[in-house]
């Protein structure tokens, strides 16, 4: 190990000892997220749920006062996330690091988590490998393989025999393509073609036309949220791609946002998506969650919100199990195998992988009281991450 590495490790261990010695009445949580930049709204939805959870459940757990320190990565920068994690551990003496809007943030913070033996709760970052990078990581969001493998198998088992795939050409898009292909083929489906599109693509006309020329039975689409779902819906409509004739499928971001659904108009009707949570989910717990979230923040929660909510639940319940002990070994042991009822439905933490196990929902855009809405019409229970 280089000298700088030895010095860092020593500093992290010293900080860990100082944390438990000097802050016995307080548990400090460092939230590392992209509070500014392109993904600021994702972080806001996560952080809103964190705030709501603390408001509803109090800021004292197992006799310990909860203190939250927020750090902004500004975007998907692993070096910044690593530096912020080190600062939180060494300077701020945090007991837990959490948040992680994006995979690069989580990967950047994983090293400091392992070196300092700090419990790390991933509330969003969805790349499968994240939990393998530190034995102190647990995740409360989702993995891309968990969704796409499920959708691929579901489609093939429900009459879809041939599919074309269109994905954004970056890590999550490639993961989505890989796992939809695996799931679809394993259940007897045939991939008739595929294309990877630029991540910041403003116009999908040429890609949609290429797909339409093959006249596939179905198309699977993975693109980031924001402006792109509206753009691709426009291209589908302009090129005469009717979801009633060519089954259009995708990950939840394709139709997740209420404003996006409104802007997509009738072009969205019939689009099928896979996701682990939408505010439309029917349960008493979710009804209460959506009502409280709307009252506090004047908008509906989304999948990012529920990841933040359940991340705080995991932290609170782990602290209760340890009697307030906040060292990483105690907290990760408490987290393994923990199960609870979430606004999304029943979930648990796999004791072997420390990843989430949950219900995956198949939804379709329909008119509900004259408004476009995702409606759950099928589900697969207790889905683990197939990549692990």
pLDDT at residue 13, rounded to an integer: 55
111 and 10 belong to one structural domain: yes
pLDDT at residue 6, rounded to an integer: 42
Give a yes or no: residue 84 inside a domain. Answer: yes
301 and 261 belong to one structural domain: no
180 and 128 belong to one structural domain: no
pLDDT at residue 8, rounded to an integer: 53
Give a yes or no: residue 35 inside a domain. Answer: yes
Name the H helices within the chain.
3-22, 40-57, 78-90, 103-116, 144-157, 171-186, 205-213, 228-238, 258-264, 284-297, 303-322, 328-335
Give a yes or no: residue 201 inside a domain. Answer: yes
pLDDT at residue 11, rounded to an integer: 53
Question: Above 50 in pLDDT, residue 168?
Answer: yes
51 and 128 belong to one structural domain: yes
pLDDT at residue 47, rounded to an integer: 98
373 and 241 belong to one structural domain: yes
pLDDT per position as a tens digit, 245-300? 999 999 998 998 888 888 888 888 999 999 999 999 999 999 999 999 999 999 99
> What is the rounded distance in angstroms from the CA atom of residue 198 to the CA atom of residue 159?
31
Give a yes or no: residue 388 inside a domain. Answer: no
Question: Above 70 in pLDDT, residue 223?
Answer: yes
Nearest CA among 274, 248, 247 for reference residue 153? 274
240 and 377 belong to one structural domain: yes
Mean of per-residue pLDDT scores for the chain: 92
pLDDT at residue 381, rounded to an integer: 98
253 and 366 belong to one structural domain: yes
The CATH number for 308's domain is 3.40.50.2300
The average pLDDT across 127-132 equals 94
pLDDT at residue 164, rounded to an integer: 98
Q: Which range among 108-112, 131-135, 211-215, 354-358 shows the weakest confidence by mean pLDDT?
A: 211-215
The percentage of the chain sitting over the pLDDT mark of 70, rounded to a whole number, equals 94
Question: Above 70 in pLDDT, residue 35?
Answer: yes
pLDDT at residue 1, rounded to an integer: 44
For 301, the token pair is 């929660």
- Residue partners of 89: CB distance under 8 A and separation at least 6: 12, 15, 16, 19, 30, 97, 112, 116, 118
Angle at 100 between CA 95 and CA 104, to 5 degrees: 120
Give a yes or no: residue 72 inside a domain. Answer: yes
For 254, the token pair is 């394709």
The average pLDDT across 60-65 equals 97
128 and 210 belong to one structural domain: no
Question: Above 90 in pLDDT, residue 387?
Answer: yes
38 and 110 belong to one structural domain: yes
- Strand, coil or helix: 300: coil
199 and 315 belong to one structural domain: no
**pLDDT band at residue 9 under the 50/70/90 scheme:** low
Q: Which range among 21-25, 176-180, 339-343 shows the weakest confidence by mean pLDDT?
A: 21-25
73 and 91 belong to one structural domain: yes
**CB of 179 within 8 A of CB of 148?**
yes
Q: Which domain holds residue 29?
A: 3-142+284-354
Question: Above 90 in pLDDT, residue 229?
Answer: no
Question: pTM to 2 decimals?
Answer: 0.91
pLDDT at residue 4, rounded to an integer: 44
For 119, the token pair is 């419990």
68 and 137 belong to one structural domain: yes
Q: To which residue do tokens 């093939």 refer? A: 156
pLDDT per position as a tens digit, 344-383? 999 999 999 999 999 999 999 999 999 999 999 999 999 9
Give a yes or no: residue 156 inside a domain. Answer: yes
Measured from the Cβ of residue 58, the count of other Cβ atoms closer than 10 Å reads: 11
Give a yes or no: residue 118 inside a domain. Answer: yes
Kind and range of the H or E element at 2? none
Question: Above 80 in pLDDT, residue 24?
Answer: no
Nearest CA among 27, 49, 35 for reference residue 312? 49
DSSP for 97-140 reads EEE-SSHHHHHHHHHHHHHHT-EEEESS---GGGGGG-TTEEES
DSSP for 177-200 reads HHHHHHHHHHTT-EEEEEEEE-TT
Domain count, the chain: 2
């Amino acid at each position: 190990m280089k000298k700088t590495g030895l010095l860092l490790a020593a500093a992290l261990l010293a900080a860990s000892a100082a944390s438990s010695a000097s802050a016995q009445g307080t548990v400090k949580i460092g939230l590392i997220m992209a509070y500014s930049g392109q993904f600021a709204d994702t972080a806001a939805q996560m952080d809103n749920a964190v705030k709501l959870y603390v408001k509803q459940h109090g800021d004292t757990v197992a006799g310990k006062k909860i203190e939250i320190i927020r750090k902004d990565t500004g975007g998907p920068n692993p070096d910044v996330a690593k530096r912020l994690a080190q600062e939180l551990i060494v300077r701020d003496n945090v007991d837990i690091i959490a948040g992680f809007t994006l995979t690069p943030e989580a990967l950047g913070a994983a090293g400091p988590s392992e070196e300092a033996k700090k419990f790390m709760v991933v509330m969003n970052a969805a790349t499968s490998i994240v939990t393998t990078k530190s034995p102190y990581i647990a995740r409360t969001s989702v993995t891309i393989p968990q969704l796409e493998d499920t959708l691929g198998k579901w489609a093939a088992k429900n009459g879809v025999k041939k599919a074309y795939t269109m994905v954004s050409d970056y890590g999550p898009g490639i993961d989505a393509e890989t796992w939809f292909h695996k799931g679809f083929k394993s259940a007897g489906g045939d991939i008739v073609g595929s294309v990877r599109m630029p991540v910041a693509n403003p116009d999908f006309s040429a890609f949609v036309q290429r797909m339409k020329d093959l006249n596939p039975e179905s198309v699977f689409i993975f693109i980031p949220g924001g402006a792109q779902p509206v753009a691709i819906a426009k291209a589908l409509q302009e090129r005469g791609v009717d979801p009633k004739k060519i089954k259009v499928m995708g990950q939840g971001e394709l139709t997740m946002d209420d404003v996006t659904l409104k802007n997509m108009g009738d072009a969205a009707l019939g689009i099928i998506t896979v996701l682990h949570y939408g505010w439309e989910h029917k349960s008493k717990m979710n009804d209460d969650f959506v009502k409280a979230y709307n009252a506090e923040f004047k908008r509906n929660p989304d999948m990012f919100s529920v990841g933040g909510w359940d991340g705080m639940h995991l932290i609170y319940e782990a602290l209760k199990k340890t009697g307030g002990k906040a060292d990483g070994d105690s907290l990760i042991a408490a987290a393994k195998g923990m199960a609870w009822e979430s606004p999304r439905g029943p979930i648990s933490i796999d004791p072997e992988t420390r990843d989430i196990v949950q219900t995956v929902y198949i939804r379709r855009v329909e008119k509900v009281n004259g408004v476009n809405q995702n409606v759950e019409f099928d589900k697969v229970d207790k889905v683990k991450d197939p990549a692990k």
